[in-house]
Amino acid sequence: MQIPSTFQPPPRVLMGPGPSDVAPSVLHALSLPLLGHLDPVFVQMMEEIKAMLRAVFLTKNEMTFPVSGTGSAGMEFCFVNLIEPGDEVVIGVNGVFGGRMVDVAERCGARVTKVEAPWGRIIEAAQIAEALKGRKPKLVAVVHAETSTGALTPVEEISRLTHEAGALFVLDTVTSLGGCPVRIDDWNVDAVYSGTQKCLSCPPGLSPVSLSPHALAIATKRQKKVQSWYLDVNLLASYWGEQRVYHHTAPISMNYALHEALRLVLVEGLENRWRRHEQNHLALKAGLAVMGLELASQPGHQLWQLNAVSVPKGVDEAVVRKKLLTDFDIEIGAGLGPLKGKIWRIGLMGETSSRANVKKVLGALVKILNEAGQNIDGSVVLAAVDAVK
C-alpha cells in the first residue's frame, strides 16, 4: 500500500449531538507525556478527577469515577452491576437511548417493563406510577436528556416514586451533565452515567459514573458474578479505590483531558455554565422563530444544549446539512428513528455553546434557505439573537 500523508482534519464547528468542540487547553492536555497508569503522580491525578466529578455530579458518593469507554459503556456499567438474570426493571423509552437501555437490560437477563412516550415528549411521573402498581422492580431507569429528541424529563418525582416502590433509580445524564442542573444527591439517584464528549467538552472515550452506597452494596452482594469482567465494579473499585490493584491499562491521555475539562467546568462554575447554555438556547430559539422555524420537542421541557429543529416543508434536510458542512464547516445532526428527515439536531454543548456560534449557524441557515427559495431577512434574525440578554 502507499503510505498516506500525515492526517490533518479540516476545521469544523461541532454543532451536532456530539462530540462538541473542546478548549485548546484540553487538546494540549492530550499531548502531554505519558505516565504509567499506576505511577503515583497519575494516581494522584485520579483522585483529583474523582473529587471534581463529585463536584460536577453534586454528589458525595465515594464510588464516582470515569469508566474507560464512551457513554454507552457507562450505561452497561450501571446495568450489568445492578441486574441479575430474572430481575424485573422498569425503563422509560422516549427516544433512541431509552430503547438502548432496554436492549442492554434484556441482555443482562432482566424482565423489562417499558414506559413509553412519543419521541419528543417526556416520560411523565404518572406513567411511572402506573407502571409500578403491583410491581416490585429491582430498578427504574430513565434518560434525563434524550439526545435523539431534545426533550428533558424532570426526574425528582420519578425518583420519589421509585424509592417508595423499593427500587433503585438509574439516570442517564450523557447530554445533561455540565449543561443543565444535575443534582445526584438531591434527586436521590442510585446510579448515574454520563459521557465526556457533550457538555463537559472533552473528546469521547470516558464515561463518568457514580453509585450510591446502597447501589454499591447491591452490586457487591450479588448472587452471581457480574457478566462483564471489564465493567465489574467489584474489580474496578480496587483500581479506583485505595488499593490501586491493577485491573486494566487506563487511557492515560484521555484522563489528562478529562482532568482539564472538569477543571474548566469548575473554574466557570456550575451555575454560570448552566446559565450560559440556557441563554444561548434562548438566543437560538429566538432567531429560529424569526425564520419561521420551531423546536420539535415538548414545550416547557426543551433541552438547552440540544435543539431539535423542525425542518420546514419542501426543504431537503440532508441537503441543508451537507451545505452547512461543505460550505460553512458546521456540523449539525440528523433526526433518528421516527424523526428521521423531520428534524435537525443543533447542539450548543460545552465549548460550542457561544453566542458567536449561534449567530454563525443561523447566518449559514439563512443563506442556504434563501438560496432554496425562501425570503428571510438575516439582519432581523441576528437582531432577535442580540435581544436575548
Per-residue model confidence (pLDDT) at position 128: 98
C-alpha distances (whole Å) from 259 to each of 53, 188, 225 are 9, 26, 32
Q: What is the per-residue pLDDT across 221-263, written as a single tens digit (0 to 9) for each?
A: 999 999 999 999 999 998 888 778 889 999 999 999 999 999 9
270-386 is a CATH 3.40.30.20 domain:
no
- Could you please state the CATH topology (level 3) that the domain comprising 24-267 is classified under: Aspartate Aminotransferase; domain 2 (3.40.640)
Q: What is the per-residue pLDDT across 312-367, written as a single tens digit (0 to 9) for each?
A: 999 999 999 999 999 999 999 999 999 999 999 999 999 999 999 999 999 999 99
- CA 59 from centroid of its chain's CA atoms: 18
Look up the pTM and report it.
0.97
* CB-count burial class (<10 Å; 0-12, 13-18, 19+) for 146: buried
Per-residue model confidence (pLDDT) at position 245: 86
Handedness of CA 386, 352, 343, 150 (dihedral sign): negative
Q: Is the peptide bond before 251 cis (omega within 30 degrees of 0)?
A: no
Q: What are phi and psi of 91, to 5 degrees?
A: -130, 130
Domain extent listing, the chain: 24-267, 270-386
For residue 203, which amino acid is it?
P
Task: Give the gyration radius of the chain's Cα atoms.
Answer: 21
Q: Which three cell numbers stand for residue 281?
A: 438556547
- Residues of the chain whose pLDDT is less than 70? none
Q: Do domains 24-267 and 270-386 have the same CATH topology?
A: no
Alpha-carbon distance of 56 to 67, in angstroms, equals 16
DSSP state letter for 169: E
> Which of 66, 5, 326 lies closest to 204, judged by CA?
66
> Is 214 in contact with 60 (CB distance < 8 Å)?
no
Alpha-carbon distance of 285 to 288, in angstroms, equals 5
Q: Which three cell numbers stand for residue 180?
A: 443543565
Handedness of CA 359, 360, 363, 365 (dihedral sign): negative
